Chain A
Amino acid sequence: MDFFMDFILLAMTAITLENAIFTRALGIGKTVFTVHRGRQILVYGGMVTVITMLSSMAGYWMTGLMTSLGWASSYRSIIYLVGMAAIYAACHFAIGLLPKRISSRANGYLSLATFNCAVLGSVMLSAMQSYSFAQYMGFGFGTGVGFTAAYWLVVEGHKRTELSTLPRAFRGFPAMVLYIGIMSLAFYGLSGHQLPL
C-alpha cells in the first residue's frame, strides 16, 4: 500500500507541479516541428515514459552502488549515461525483432527518446532528493506522462498560433516559446514556489 501511495504521489507531482516542460524546460526544442502528429506524439511520449521508468530503476540501483562505494557526485552523470546507453542498446535490439515497418519508425524515435534531457534530468533529480524505489518509479512515470501531455499541449498550441495572424518576426519558434512561457506562468501559479534544481 505504501509503495502504491508513494508511486501515485510522486507521479502526480511530476505530471503537474514539476512538469518536465513547463517547470523545468526539459526535452523541448524544435523537435515540435518534426514530431507533430497525434500518433507520432503518442509513440514518442510512450517511448520517453518507458525509457524514463527503466532508467529510474537502473538509476536507483546505481545511486545505491555509488553511495556504498563512496564515489563523488560529479561522476553520477556519466554512470547514469552508461546505464541509459545499456537500456538504449537493449531497446534497439528488442525493436529490431519487430516487423520492419514498425522497427524502422520506432528506431527513429528511440535515440531522441533516450538521449533526452527529460530522462537524465528525472534520474538525477530523484537521486538528489534521495527517493525510495517507489518514489523513483513514480517520479519517472510521472515525468514521462507529464512530458507527453505537455508536448501534446505545445504542439496543439503551436498549430493554433500558426493559423492566427502573427507578425512575421514571431512566426514559428518565437511564438512557440512565448506560448510555453505563458503556460509555464500558469503552472507557476499552481506551484507558487521555487523548485529545487
Chain B
Amino acid sequence: MSSSTQKNNLFHRFDGVLWGNPVLALGLGVPFAVIATVSMRSAAVLAAAMLCTAVPVFLVASLCARYIPQWLRAVVYSLVSAAALIPLRALLFSLFPAVFDTLGVYYALMALNPAVMIPALSHRVTGEKPGFALLNALCYSLGFALVLFGIALIREPVGSGTIWGHPVEIPFQLAPAQYPFFGFILLGYFAAVYQFLERLFVLVARKRGRFLKNSKKSRREEEKIPDSGSQKEQKKKLTWFKRNQEEQAEEQTGHNDTEGITKKQLDK
C-alpha cells in the first residue's frame, strides 16, 4: 500500500491475506510452507512465530527505518525477529513440546523469514504510519497462516492419518506425504489455483468496471480528462487543426482566403 489512492481502497487495505498473499503471490516463505507443514500443530507454531516476528519488525521498519542506514536495516530486522522468537518458544514449548522436535531448525529460521524481511526492507512498510504497518503485519501473518494450515490439512491426514494429533479414518495413506517433494508439489498446485482465481476475479471485476476504482486510469476515464501527450504531439494536433480549419474555409468560400477568419474562430 504505497499510494494514497490504494490506502483509501478498502480492498487494498487488507493486502496480504488473499490478494498479494506472501506465499502464493509473492513466493516468500517457501521453506516453511514446504518442510514444516507435516502437521497442523507445526503450522500453528509457525503461524504464531510469523505473527510475533512480523509485528515488531514492521513497527520498527515504519518508525525507525529513516534513522537506520540502508545497509544496516537487514541486520536490525533479523535481530529484532530473533529476539521476538525467544519468549514465544518458551510459551509454545509448554503447549506443544513435541512439535519442536518435528520443526527442528525451521523454528529458529523464522528469524530470517523472507515473508517478513522482504516486505520490511521494501517500500511496502518503510515510512508507513505505525497503524498501517501493524495492519500489514496482521494481514501478512493471516495470509501466511492460511496457506500453512491449508497445506497441513492435506499432508497430515494423508501422511500420518491424524488431524491435530487425533487419529482419523482416511481411505488411503501415503507415507511419502511427509517428505519435502510432496510439500513442493502441493504448494505448486495451491499457487496454480490461486493464480487461476486471481485472474478470474480480475476478469469479472473489469467487466463490472469496478477494478482499480481509485486508480488514475479509471479516474481519467470517469472525468474524461484528455490525454495531454508530449509538446511535439500537441504541436502536431494544433497544426492539423489549423489545416483542417483552412480546408473547411476554402470549401465554404471557394477560394483559399483565411484572412477574413479571426484567430478566435480558428481557435474554436
Contact = CB atoms under 8 A, between A and B. Distances in A.
A121 B75 CA distance: 17
A64 B144 CA distance: 36
Contacts of A66: none
B109 A120 contact: yes
B47 interface: no
A36 to B, nearest CB: 14
Given A28-B30, A197-B35, A180 B184 contact: yes
B219 to A, nearest CB: 30
B195 to A, nearest CB: 5
B85 to A, nearest CB: 7
A85 B78 contact: yes
Nearest to A169: B196
B112 A117 contact: yes
Interface string A132-161: 000000000000000000000000000000
Interface string A108-128: 000100111100110011001
Contact of A124 (B30, B83, B109, B180): B109
Contacts of B183: 25, 181
A184 B105 contact: no
Interface string B83-101: 1011001100000000000
Interface residues of B, number: 50
Interface stretch (A8-16, A38-46, A47-55, A75-83): A75-83
A189 to B, nearest CB: 10
A101 interface: no
Most central of B34, B79, B121, B199 by chain A CB within 10 Å: B34
Interface string B192-233: 110110010000000000000000000000000000000000
A7 interface: no
Given A85-B75, A115-B78, A197-B102, A74 B86 contact: yes
For A77, A81, A168, which residue has the most chain B Cβ atoms within 10 angstroms? Answer: A77
A111 B82 contact: no
A185 B71 contact: no
A98 interface: no
B184 A178 contact: yes
B180 A184 contact: yes
A116 B78 CA distance: 11
Nearest to A107: B71
Interface string B15-30: 0000000001011111
Contacts of B117: 115
B191 A177 contact: yes
Nearest to A172: B195
Contacts of B114: 29, 117
Contacts of A170: 188, 192, 195
Nearest to B178: A194
B161 interface: no
Nearest to A26: B31
B74 interface: yes
Contacts of B31: 24-28, 117
A107 B241 CA distance: 54
Interface of A: 22-30, 74-78, 81-82, 85, 88-89, 92, 107, 111, 114-117, 120-121, 124-125, 128, 167-175, 177-178, 180-182, 184-185, 188, 194, 196-197
Shortest 10 CB-CB contacts between residues of A and residues of B: A197-B104, A181-B184, A30-B27, A178-B188, A77-B108, A184-B181, A169-B196, A177-B188, A181-B185, A174-B192
Given A81-B111, A181-B181, A197-B105, 4 more contacts: A25-B180, A28-B31, A30-B28, A174-B191
Interface of B: 24, 26-31, 34-35, 71, 74-75, 78-79, 82-83, 85-86, 89-90, 102-106, 108-109, 111-112, 114, 117, 121, 176, 178-185, 187-189, 191-193, 195-196, 199
